[in-house]
């Protein structure tokens, strides 16, 4: 079992950052393993991910709470994979906090993948 958290400070304001981060079409640019994401219903996405050289396709749930600048997601299956992204005001910019949980971490460097994703968010939205 594993719980992981990382964060990044951005020059972008919280509303602009959350609007960009919560757009399903932009998700592959923010999450290192995610190669494609397509909205198929209000809270459902089809995803293609590459983890440790293996391509996986599947369906995930995604909930966007614009009022609280919070996005949660997860995928059905034995790994109990789920995550949360929150954007908060931080001085003139914002702070993005990403949390992940999975039951199966054997052979997968989840912490590294999370660091890569947070780095990608900072590169795209201006790390402070």
What CATH number is associated with residue 87?
3.30.530.20
Counted domains in the chain: 1
pLDDT (0 to 100) of residue 1: 63
pLDDT (0 to 100) of residue 97: 98
Starting at the earlier edge strand, list the strands of the sheet with 70-75.
2-10, 93-102, 81-90, 70-75, 54-65, 44-51, 34-41
Residue 23 domain-assigned (yes or no): yes
Residue segments in the chain with a per-residue pLDDT below the cut of 70 = 1, 105-107
Residue 87 domain-assigned (yes or no): yes
The answer to whether the CB of 62 falls within 8 A of the CB of 44 is yes
């Amino acid at each position: 079992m594993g719980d992981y958290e990382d964060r990044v400070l951005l020059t972008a304001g919280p509303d602009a950052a959350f609007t960009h981060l919560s757009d399903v079409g932009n998700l592959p640019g923010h999450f290192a393993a995610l190669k494609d994401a397509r909205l198929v219903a209000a809270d459902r996405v089809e995803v293609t991910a590459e983890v440790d050289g293996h391509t996986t396709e599947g369906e995930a749930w995604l909930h966007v709470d614009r009022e609280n600048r919070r996005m949660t997601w997860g995928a059905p299956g034995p790994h109990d994979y789920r995550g949360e992204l929150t954007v908060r005001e931080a001085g003139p910019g914002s702070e993005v906090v990403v949390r992940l949980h999975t039951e199966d971490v054997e052979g997968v460097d989840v912490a590294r993948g999370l660091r890569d994703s947070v780095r990608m968010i900072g590169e795209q939205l201006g790390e402070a």
